[in-house]
Structure 1
C-alpha cells in the first residue's frame, strides 16, 4: 500500500454487498488505501454486540472486479469486524474508520441500537478517528448519489483536522435529491424515543411469537437537533462521545446516604 495515502477501514451493518457500503467504498477509493471488513450478512440493530460464545470466520473476498480495495467478509457483528481488522488483518492502525452508508436513520435515540454507529464507536475507543454515515431510506434501491460529495468533504476534513479525543461523528442524510439538500448542520442528538409494541401471533404449531413494532416520538422542539435538521433538508452531524458517564449527576449522587 502507498505510504502517501491514508489507510481507511470501511465497515457497515447491512452486509458487505449492500449498496450503501459499495457507495462508501467508491468514495473512499478516491481518498486513500481502502480495506473493507464487513459482515457477511445483515447485522442491523446489533448495537455494540461482540461474539464471545461462538467462533468467527473471516474470508478474503472480491465483491466487485476492477476496484483496488482489499475486502474481507466476516461472520460476526460490526464491532467484531473492527476488532478483527485492527488486531489481525491490518499491518498498521487505520488513519480513519468509516461505517455505512446505512440504509435507514441513525439519528436521535437510534444511535444506541445502531450497528453502523457502534462500529465507528469501537474504532474511536482505540484512537481511530471514525464517522458513521446513514441515509434516511431503507430501500435497497436507495439513491446514494447525492451523499457522495458530502461524504468526501467530511472525510477529507476529518483526515486534515482530526477529531477531539473520545469523539466520533454520526452523520445522517435526508432522503432528498442533491438540489434539495440545503447543506450541513452540526447538531445535538434530539431527545426522542420509540413507543414500542409487540404484535403477538401464533404459529401453526400453536406456539406464540412476537414482532417488534413501534412509533417514533419526538417531543424535542429544539432547532439545534438532528431531527430538526433532517426534517428541514439539512445533513445532520452529531459529535458522539463514548464516555457514557453522566458527569452532571455525580454531585447529586454523592449526596445520597450511602
Structure 2
C-alpha cells in the first residue's frame, strides 16, 4: 500500500518513528510531520506565513506548520500518485470523547478524508507510553482490513489503544465518543518581569463513560475504534430550527 503518515507530536516523536519503521517494512510510506510538537492545533491551517518542507531522512519530511498543513502539503504538493490511506499517529496521549475537537492527531486524519482519502487516527492512552508496540500491532492488524470497510470513501476511524502489552489487550470494540466535563479554569500567573500570563486549564474529568463509549472500552483494556466524520450539521435540529425561524418571522 501507499501510505501518507503524519502526526501532531512532531517528526521525531517515538510513536511516529515506531509506526513509520513498521509500516515501511511492508509498504511504501511517505511521512510528513510538524517540525515540533503541535498538540492541540486542531484543524488549523497556516495561511499568513510560508511553509517549509525539509527532508530529514528517506521519505521523511518536517514542516514548520500544523498537522493539517502537513497532510495538505503531503497530498497536494508531494505525492506523485495518490496514497491508499492517510494515517495519523501514534499519538502520546489519548484522543477520547471531546478531545477530538482539539486534537491535531484527529485533524490530520480529517484533512486526509477532506481531500478524498480514507484515514486512521491512532493514539495511546498514556502521555508516556511504554507499550507503543501494541498500537503498532493494532495498525498492522487493521490496515489490510480497511480495503473491505463498507463506507471506505467516508472512513475516518479514531483509534485509542490501552497502554498495555499486546497479549493483555482484550480485543477491539466499536464505540461512540464519550464526554468530559468542562475544562478546568485558566491558570493566572505572571512571567519573570511581572506581566500577567495565563495557562490553559487541564482537561475536564470524564462525564459520560457509558459501556458503549471509547472511555469505557480503553479503561476495560480494549482498543477503541470510533467512526467519526467532519460534517458538523446537527441534523436532529434542522426541523426545530426552521420552525423557530418561522415563528420569529411571524411574530415580528
User: Fold conserved (TM > 0.5)?
Assistant: yes
Partners in 2 of 1:217 and 1:91 — Cα distance? 45
Higher relative strand content: 1
Cross-structure match for 1:97 = 86
Cross-structure match for 1:40 = 35
Deviation at 1:160, TM superposition (A): 4.3
Deviation at 1:162, TM superposition (A): 6.1
2:95 aligned residue (81, 100, 106): 106
Aligned length: 246
2:116 aligned residue (127, 143, 160): 127
Pairwise mapping of residues 1-12 of structure 1 onto structure 2 (< 5 A)? 6-12=1-7
Give the 3 Å change call, closer, same or farther, for CA 114–55 of structure 1 in structure 2: same
Cross-structure match for 2:46 = 51
The question of whether the paired residues in 2 share the 8 Å contact of 1:105 and 1:135 is answered with yes
Partner SS for 1:244: coil
Instruction: Give the TM-score of the pair, scaled to structure 1.
Output: 0.90
The question of whether the paired residues in 1 share the 8 Å contact of 2:118 and 2:154 is answered with no
Pairwise mapping of residues 21-170 of structure 1 onto structure 2 (< 5 A)? 21-62=16-57, 70-139=59-128, 142-161=130-149, 163-170=151-158
Give the 3 Å change call, closer, same or farther, for CA 193–124 of structure 1 in structure 2: farther
Deviating beyond 6 angstroms after TM superposition, the runs of 4 or more aligned structure 1 residues are none
Q: Once superposed, what is the RMSD of the aligned Cα atoms?
A: 1.6
Partners in 2 of 1:153 and 1:45 — Cα distance? 28
Cross-structure match for 2:219 = 231
- Stretches of structure 1 lacking an aligned partner (at least 5 in a row): 1-5, 63-68
Partners in 2 of 1:19 and 1:161 — Cα distance? 29
Deviation at 1:116, TM superposition (A): 0.6
The question of whether the paired residues in 1 share the 8 Å contact of 2:63 and 2:70 is answered with yes
Partners in 1 of 2:204 and 2:42 — Cα distance? 18
Partner SS for 2:200: strand
Cross-structure match for 1:200 = 188
Give the 3 Å change call, closer, same or farther, for CA 163–16 of structure 1 in structure 2: farther
Residues 148-157 or 238-247, more deviating: 148-157
Higher relative helix content: 2
- Stretches of structure 2 lacking an aligned partner (at least 5 in a row): none
Deviation at 1:125, TM superposition (A): 1.0
The question of whether the paired residues in 2 share the 8 Å contact of 1:166 and 1:243 is answered with no
The question of whether the paired residues in 2 share the 8 Å contact of 1:97 and 1:120 is answered with yes
